[in-house]
Amino acid sequence: MPDRPLLVVDGDSFAHRAYHGLPKTIRRAGDKGGGAIVGFANYLLRLYEAERPRAVIVGWDTLSEPNWRAREFPDYQGGRVFDDEIVDQLDVLPELVAAMGFASGKAAGFEADDFLATAVALEETASGTALVASGDRDAFQLVSERTTVLHPVKAGEIARVGIAEVRERYGVEPKQVPDFIALRGDPSDKIPGARGIGATTAASLLKRYPDLEAMLADGKFEAVADDLRLYRRLATMVTTAPLAPIPDQRPTWDKAAALARAWELNNLADRLEGLAKTG
């Protein structure tokens, strides 16, 4: 069994947090935005230094075309509009991740979530452990004896979410999170859920039934059964994203520092150069 965990990072989640949390006056070469890059890098470096993983994989959304969820349910995440500057920085952030010596997962038709789930599945199959860093509570479905979610809360604090924490927060088992979302709905993704069913009722139902399918087999929600099956499918992180097993990595901080310097993000370059000197 590997001694150190695989660190699996939701790139879009942390890049968006950084973009909205740092001043837009942070610029890179060509007077382009730099705040999301700097903030994301700071998150990633903090996680790396705290956890000392054997390797890092960052999952990314592809914004240029609809993913499989949007194709199945056109209202999925409907109405989301991103500033041009965050889109530009999301386009180049995988380049920084690669310069650090880490892996990225990004492919048309898939979301970052799917690369997170695929990476976890591969690591658990290899008897390894994983740490999933994401600000999206959907990731709680990945929690297991081998996988813990690192969930940002406030003021830079990161909560460690294991099986007990999922039960405490949602009142369900991690594997039931997609069923819970299907019933309760998810306003951020525009998943409607079942009419009149909130978090408390959804959790209560999932104490009586192992999953949504068992409820439907018992005659519940007959009129909206197909809709709820669709919502559960949308809420489920799939493990079929195009990703190979991640080998152990050795960070290349010097290459990342050179890229940051070329982008004229000099404070970030200084930090990376310091890491390169200390190893």
Give per-residue pLDDT as tens, 217-262.
Answer: 999 999 999 999 999 999 999 999 999 999 999 999 999 999 999 9
Q: pLDDT digit string (tens) for 36-77?
A: 999 999 999 999 999 999 999 999 999 888 889 989 999 888
How many other CB atoms are there within 10 angstroms of residue 242's CB atom? Answer: 13
Cβ-contact 205, 176 below 8 angstroms: no
**pLDDT confidence band for 114 (50 / 70 / 90):** very high
**Tokens 């999932």 found at:** 206
- For the chain, domains (ranges, CATH) are 6-166+240-270 (3.40.50.1010), 171-235 (1.10.150.20)
pTM of this structure: 0.94
Phi-psi region of 171 (alpha: psi -120 to 50; beta: other; left: phi over 0): left
